[in-house]
Structure 1
Amino acid sequence: MLLTRAESHGELAGLDASNIERLQVLEQSRGVVADSLVFKAWKRLLPYLPTRVKHLVVRMGACLRRRQKRPHGRSLLRESGADLLFCPFGATVYAVPGVPAVSTIHDLQYKSYPQFFAAEEVAHRDYAFVTACREATRLVAISEYTRRSAIHHGKLGEHRIRTIPHRLARRLGDAASGDPSLLLRLGLGGTRYLVYPANFWKHKNHELLLTAFGVAASGALPADVRLVCTGAAGDRCDFLMNAARTMGLQERILFPGYLSTAELAALMRGSLGMVFPSLYEGFGLPVLEAMDAGVPVACSNATSLPEVAAGAAILFDPGSVREIADAILLLATDATVAEDLVRAGRLRAAGYSDTRQMANDYLVCFGEAMSLGRTASQLVGVYADNWVGNELELDVVAPGENVQLRMELVVPDWIPHKSVDVELRVRSGMSHARHIRLRRGESRLWSVPVSDGLLDVCLKPSFVPALCGHGEDPRELTLKLKHCSVRRDDGDGDLLWGESQG
């Protein structure tokens, strides 16, 4: 069962098979209400509205958000009796207590270069990572570098995360000669050139590459050698084109825009080599693709790239203009070095060609996750800043008697409602539901006797802070959870959220 969101549902049609059911369970992306014209109009009017009308707006906003959601993913897992949840893109959006989950971590670039992201994006990525570390039974990293980063930043035990590298799809084919018609169209007919195939994201380090190419061009780089930077047009591309023009290199540095896979393959096959000065990669698949195609490579010595290249590429410091320039000169002028790199690169790429091994590694990981069973209580539904939406889900592993679920709940004094109702609903393990009501500004430690099983904590009414004049937060919230634990009489148990209490 493949659970998708609207943005990617169509793209994944190629995975349809007799044993795969593709289900779209999220209609729109996060923040859709906050980005709507209606939402923004209400925010501008809010300070001038009477209190009763403000409260009505809050309820309308919460209602609208519920209508736009399709929270079917979690219920589908429960109703279908799923054996495992696999999250190939990291975020454990559909995780439910009682169903083991495996999450793949691709990179933690926001930790190393937060300046390359908007504050909201950093918060979103961090929430996804922290939540995956908490909710996933097992985690997978796409490189050993990414694994070590995840262990460090997520404070993970070594046993919880394994490395399963990407494998090659061989989309570029073998290097021979470039497509003459494409090369003529790009203004490359009869010339030699190096390629940098990358989007124009800041971590791709185009600025230093252009500077280094200028240094090489003013030195021993032959006059007919050009640099081709592929990637979709946009503000960053325009900025870099202007930079090349300012440097007087507009005839030698080309920006052909987005290229299809076939066009990129032809461009790569006709090149002298690939230069890859990225500051950060979680894996670095373009390096292996070039090697597999028989294209010599010079790449950054940062993050995962030395691990992937492993002696089959010229390595340089991506922060050193001189080292990048030297690598450009070596690729463009030393045929012996280029031949050695092609030979070593093909051998290195061959080690990443076994896609069946990758599938088997994942199957082993899935088996480990499912074999662990229910070893500790689990909580799902809390944001990293302690806020809770409409529901918490718990899998209480509580053998024996006299087991207590303890929750410290806090209702801020600025919420628009007078009180919040909290109800503990039972899916198994208890004979009846429990209910409390917390007033605005109240904090309470709620202790409830529980037995082994699945529980839901339902909370209402909810509100959207941005609709109440409290910042830009578009989430639907109710109260804060400062602490949650399952404890026995002897003091042992599971800490599910917050800090340990005496």
Structure 2
Amino acid sequence: MRLLFDARYIRTDFHDGISRYSAELAAAVHAAAPTHGVDVVFLVWDDAQIPFLPDGARTLTIHAPTAVREPFTALLLNRYRPDAVFSPMQTIGSMGRRFGLILTLHDTIYYRHRTPPRDLPWYVRLGWRLFHLSYVPQRLTLNAADVVATVSETSAAEFARVKLTKRPVVVIPNAPQRLAELLPADVAVESGAQNLVYMGSFMPYKNVETLIRAAAHLPGRTLHLLSRISPERRAELASLIDPAGADVVFHGGVTDAEYAALLADRAVLVSASLDEGYGLPVAEAVEMGVPAVVTEMPIFREVAGGGALYAPGTDAEAFAAGIRTLDDPATRAAVVAAGSAHIARFDWARSAAVLLDAVGALPRRRTR
């Protein structure tokens, strides 16, 4: 059985969520495909993406996913006679396809927060906003597939709640990268709650304001804000800092190795986000053996389980209290142990097996 795996969303500068999901799942699928009787070929649009795929991976170069030809991609792919195509997004053109198709929708967050990524072409950003004004375009898109994939049970439940698709929905879970592997050989995770680490954007729904207000109740500690930030947004947040509270450090972007080093240094991962599609930084911290204090909401419960303490997203004092709770070594050890047991269920090999099983169950290639 021939599978075309759409790897065109892999970035060559730095991974975002879709890029990392694509690259990690691609590697696991490449490893597992032979035992499932699947011949996998990866779609790329830039030769610079090839080094991010497994050694020996076969590739097929086509247009970029943002190209004006994208709605007609299936007509191009028909020439290569695939049995199935999997895309980690839902925008690949399906018109006239003669193969089984699995499309992926990670979450519904952009229906609540419609600002598109700024690095997209203007016409894609415009289409993005129009597309998310109603569920109707998404329903039409997803119903054109045979199967819809998503990354969490929380997202699958939301799809059902809003009746987003008539197609079967399969959960192909996201999984954390193993940040501990990026630490020097002589460095281990040091227990403590001295450093509060936030990894994520500074969009309003991320609610970093609550973290800064919580810092006011935590003198002697440091809140590390890791991601890149605009000067205007930094000024807004800096105006909330209480000099008598925790120090607040804007890092302006860090490498994965720097991120790992910060988490390893007596750290707690914190997020007061009011909405999330998944929450990969939470999963990464828990996998590393670092506890978290995060907003009480279903997706964080699914990702972190007992590896986090939970607080209302707008309650700064509750966040501060949760962090202080982790000063107790026994409490922290119990949270870390619970998190390690929980996060073990998220594994790329398992996700690849779910995908390949779904591929095997697809209708066979259409002749005409």
TM-score under structure 2 normalisation? Answer: 0.74
1:445-482 CA deviation, whole Å, 9 max, x = no partner?
xxxxxxxx85xxxxxxxxxxxxxxxxxxxxxxxxxxxx
Which structure has more helix as a fraction of its residues? 2
Unaligned runs of 5+ in 1: 31-67, 180-190, 375-452, 455-502
Matched, 1:361 2:366: no
1:224-249 CA deviation, whole Å, 9 max, x = no partner?
2111111013246423443245x436
Inter-partner Cα distance in structure 2 for 1:262 and 1:344: 25
The answer as to whether partners of 2:325 and 2:331 remain within 8 angstroms in 1 is yes
SS, match of residue 179 in structure 2: coil
Residue aligning to 1:144 = 153
Query: Which of these two proteins has the greater Rg computed from alpha carbons?
Result: 1
Closer, same or farther in 2 for the Cα pair 1:96/1:305, shift >3 Å?
farther
Aligned partner of 2:201 among 178, 199, 202 = 199
The answer as to whether partners of 2:90 and 2:104 remain within 8 angstroms in 1 is yes
1:137 CA displacement: 0.6
SS, match of residue 307 in structure 2: coil
1:132-177 CA deviation, whole Å, 9 max, x = no partner?
32211101121111001112234434x6102221123313449899
Inter-partner Cα distance in structure 1 for 2:180 and 2:204: 25
Aligned partner of 2:222 among 226, 237, 240 = 226
1:13 CA displacement: 3.5
1:329 CA displacement: 2.6
Residue aligning to 2:102 = 102
Closer, same or farther in 2 for the Cα pair 1:294/1:16, shift >3 Å?
closer
Unaligned runs of 5+ in 2: 13-45, 118-124, 188-192
Matched, 1:343 2:337: yes
Inter-partner Cα distance in structure 1 for 2:10 and 2:151: 26
What code does the residue aligned with 2:168 have?
R
Aligned partner of 2:272 among 270, 273, 277 = 277
Taking only the aligned residue pairs, the percentage that are identical comes to: 21
How is 1:69-468 mapped onto 2 (pairs within 5 angstroms)? Answer: 69=69, 73-94=73-94, 96-114=96-114, 121-125=128-132, 129-157=138-166, 160-173=168-181, 192-214=194-216, 216=217, 221=218, 223-235=219-231, 237-245=233-241, 247-248=242-243, 252-331=247-326, 333-352=327-346, 354-370=347-363
The answer as to whether partners of 1:2 and 1:21 remain within 8 angstroms in 2 is no
1:77 CA displacement: 1.2
SS, match of residue 362 in structure 1: helix
TM-score under structure 1 normalisation? Answer: 0.56
Across the aligned residues of Structure 1 and Structure 2, the Cα RMSD in angstroms comes to 3.4
Inter-partner Cα distance in structure 2 for 1:195 and 1:227: 6
1:367-387 CA deviation, whole Å, 9 max, x = no partner?
22235x77xxxxxxxxxxxxx
SS, match of residue 311 in structure 1: helix
Closer, same or farther in 2 for the Cα pair 1:303/1:199, shift >3 Å?
same
Inter-partner Cα distance in structure 2 for 1:162 and 1:198: 27
1:290 CA displacement: 0.7
Inter-partner Cα distance in structure 1 for 2:75 and 2:292: 48
1:172-219 CA deviation, whole Å, 9 max, x = no partner?
44989997xxxxxxxxxxx932111112222221112212222x2xxx
Residue aligning to 1:24 = 62
1:119 CA displacement: 7.4
Closer, same or farther in 2 for the Cα pair 1:17/1:271, shift >3 Å?
same
The answer as to whether partners of 1:174 and 1:294 remain within 8 angstroms in 2 is no
Closer, same or farther in 2 for the Cα pair 1:6/1:326, shift >3 Å?
closer
What code does the residue aligned with 2:161 have?
H
